[in-house]
Structure 1
């Protein structure tokens, strides 16, 4: 009997050690003019995604304007609270968890990290406006029982100049929302965010420069990750929170890992291999790490059948070889 007991314990230990820890395997579910249908969710399930980021939008006139316009009839359906609720309900019905990730769009596509007021009066106006915007979305996240709420996306100067405001805002959000919290820091901002301890995940939009080659190999890209990964892991240990890539992705074009954040409309040559290699490298570097929670692929359009394709040099992996890499990894984890 003793030998049988020892054998059972060994088998149990082997079984536990061989299990792969489940990750947040997400897609950034792009807002559309239309309601989401079951066929759209089926395409998400096809790549074994278990999470989706839902992104309602607020709009600002310029980088010095304190006014935020949001949740209006002039916006696309998916950018509003009503649309976000419909998306979340459909995803939840299919067993896919959600992160509500409100985003700001500054006219002409100005980078949100440069949002900076010119007076104390305008800073206070911005704080009032952002309170209304973010708390309306936090309440919606609570109503829909969304699992994660992102308190902001790439707002470096706002965070740097008004740290006390953000500490207070987190308290206000906690009062109306009881799920997990994160913030989506830009890749070159995350190390200076002052409120990580107040949240549940260290959120990073992971557009780190990795290689200047036209078509870098997986090995070269993994080598490029080394200088960044050490610091990311160290912050996770210091704050004692897991890291979540609130966005990660690469364009299917030449030099995709040189400046991965580029969203311009350049016509650089389509390079499907470079996108595949970059995806493989990020998965191989991070998805096995205990301190890493997972991430959300940038980006996934609702109408899958009409999205991406092998002539497209944009971020989406849809209908490209990179989609199969995502499917393979997401199925495993």
Structure 2
């Protein structure tokens, strides 16, 4: 295993061809890995959610009221199933903040910050130990804490150091697409991780060629970032809804999805462009597409418009690129 201190920008031999598997509400009735194999995915990301509210310092997780797949027993079962099928795993704990976004999370006193750090540490260490016990290949130490990552460098470095005492896999952090420049601890990690929802164009159905052109400046910036940090870029999250204008501001079009028509071609074009731009770059490690519903479980009622490629034109696009490894 290459240590975080040894990894260079040009060590990516095989792309991480991953899917983020939505946690199922209950145990599986059939093997979810069979369907995943149809798109040639070699990796999955598992997300044991934690929960908090704006202004609160507690991170709640592991409740019996949570879906089975978000709790320890569900994560363990999914890792075992994946490894049995020859699929590698990233564990990516993620905090959901009611009526807000964790990127905005901030506290006005040191005491509150310390309370939050203690609670978050307990949450993260719990699942880092699951990752260690079951030999998950990558562990993601945090997701989209835009202000907290910038303001609490000492905490994050300490947390990463603690995890490395017992977890021997690779570690990343998932920055939002507009926050990676202010993350101060990339040098302690194995990958520069990004939630890659870069807004490209608000065209209804942009062509692949147009999208490739729109990626040009961002690609140059990310290549420079990889060179500066000495780490490959990993898209810890990326994806497009199957609706009009899907390559625009994802956080806005999600709210407008009920008004926007289904557009499978737009989704397929957006994914084709992303892979065309990055796949052959040695500094791009690959990524985890958001998202995949195992056995159809866990969707919120708008499957035909959601990010999943299942049963859509994009499934062929994904299978083609993932199968090229």
Q: Tell me the TM-score normalised to structure 1 length.
A: 0.90
Matched residue SS, 2:250: coil
Match of 2:113 among 117, 123, 127: 123
Contact 1:307 1:319 in 2 (8 A): no
Q: Which string of whole-angstrom CA distances, capped at 9 and with x for unpartnered residues, describes residues 284-331 of structure 1?
A: 000111111111110001124997999812211111000110001100
How does 1:1-333 map onto structure 2 within 5 Å?
A: 21-60=13-52, 62-108=53-99, 110-262=100-252, 263-264=254-255, 266-267=257-258, 268-304=260-296, 312-333=304-325
Q: Which string of whole-angstrom CA distances, capped at 9 and with x for unpartnered residues, describes residues 176-220 of structure 1?
A: 211100011110011221111100011011000111211111111
**Which position in structure 2 is the counterpart of 1:3?**
none
Contact 1:309 1:319 in 2 (8 A): no
Contact 1:43 1:304 in 2 (8 A): no
Distance in 2 of aligned mates of 1:81 and 1:256: 34
Distance change (3 Å), C-alpha of 1:138 and 1:307: closer
Distance in 2 of aligned mates of 1:311 and 1:40: 17
Unaligned 5+ runs, structure 2: 1-11
Contact 1:247 1:298 in 2 (8 A): yes
Higher relative contact order (CA 8 A, sep 6+): 2
Distance in 2 of aligned mates of 1:105 and 1:34: 20
Distance in 2 of aligned mates of 1:40 and 1:308: 19
Matched residue SS, 2:165: helix
Matched residue SS, 1:173: helix
**Which position in structure 1 is the counterpart of 2:7?**
none
**Which position in structure 2 is the counterpart of 1:9?**
none
Q: How many residues align?
A: 312
Distance in 1 of aligned mates of 2:261 and 2:41: 29
Contact 2:22 2:298 in 1 (8 A): no
Q: Which string of whole-angstrom CA distances, capped at 9 and with x for unpartnered residues, describes residues 39-72 of structure 1?
A: 3110001111000001111110x22110011112
Contact 1:41 1:94 in 2 (8 A): yes
Matched residue SS, 1:39: coil
Distance in 2 of aligned mates of 1:143 and 1:326: 31
Distance in 1 of aligned mates of 2:298 and 2:134: 29
| Moved beyond 2 Å, runs of 4+ | 36-39, 260-266, 304-311
Q: Where is the helix percentage greater, Structure 1 or Structure 2?
A: 1
Q: Tell me the TM-score normalised to structure 2 length.
A: 0.92
Distance in 1 of aligned mates of 2:168 and 2:303: 43
Over the aligned positions, Cα root-mean-square deviation in angstroms equals 1.9
Instruction: Select between 311-320 and 66-75 the one with higher mean Cα deviation.
Output: 311-320
Matched residue SS, 1:303: helix
Q: Give the CA deviation at 1:265.
A: 5.5
Q: Which string of whole-angstrom CA distances, capped at 9 and with x for unpartnered residues, describes residues 230-268 of structure 1?
A: 110101011111111001100111111111344326321
